[in-house]
Amino acid sequence: MNARPPGPATILGPDGRTWTRDTDGLYYDEHRTEVFSQSALRDLIERAAERLLRDVLRTRDPVLRDIANARTVSELNNIWHGRVTAWTEEQAAAARGRRAVLELPPREPS
């Protein structure tokens, strides 16, 4: 049986934290208090994307809609810096989650 590829060295999580791959192949937060496998982190990030889409439909918030429609980190940064009003906690969480989705490396071939 072939060994699985190790995965990327770091993965940006949907909460804005960076997870770093250790020699054991698992991803740890900066304080080493939480640990995830690559697939578990991917699941968290994919759920953040699904939650954002539900929130857009539920609230009809134009900022959430713009965040959901961003296709690059640059577009997302323009949305973030282009708004002069205060961001709600929901909008900030959505932006962190969307950035994680946009920066998620492609799946390794199995």
Residues 51-99: tens digit of each pLDDT: 999 999 999 899 999 999 999 999 999 998 886 567 889 999 999 999 9
Report the percentage of the chain scoring pLDDT > 90. 70
What pTM did the predictor assign?
Answer: 0.82
The predicted structure's pLDDT at residue 2: 54
The predicted structure's pLDDT at residue 51: 93
Domain ranges of the chain: 10-103
pLDDT at 107 > cutoff 90: no
* Mean pLDDT value across residues 45-55: 93
* Mean pLDDT value across residues 16-40: 92
pLDDT at 20 > cutoff 90: yes
Q: How far apart are the first and last CA of the chain?
A: 11
- 22 vs 109, higher pLDDT: 22
29-60 burial, b if ≥16 CB within 10 A, otherwise e? eeeeeeebebeebbebbeebbeebeebbeeee
Amino acid at 104: L
The predicted structure's pLDDT at residue 105: 80
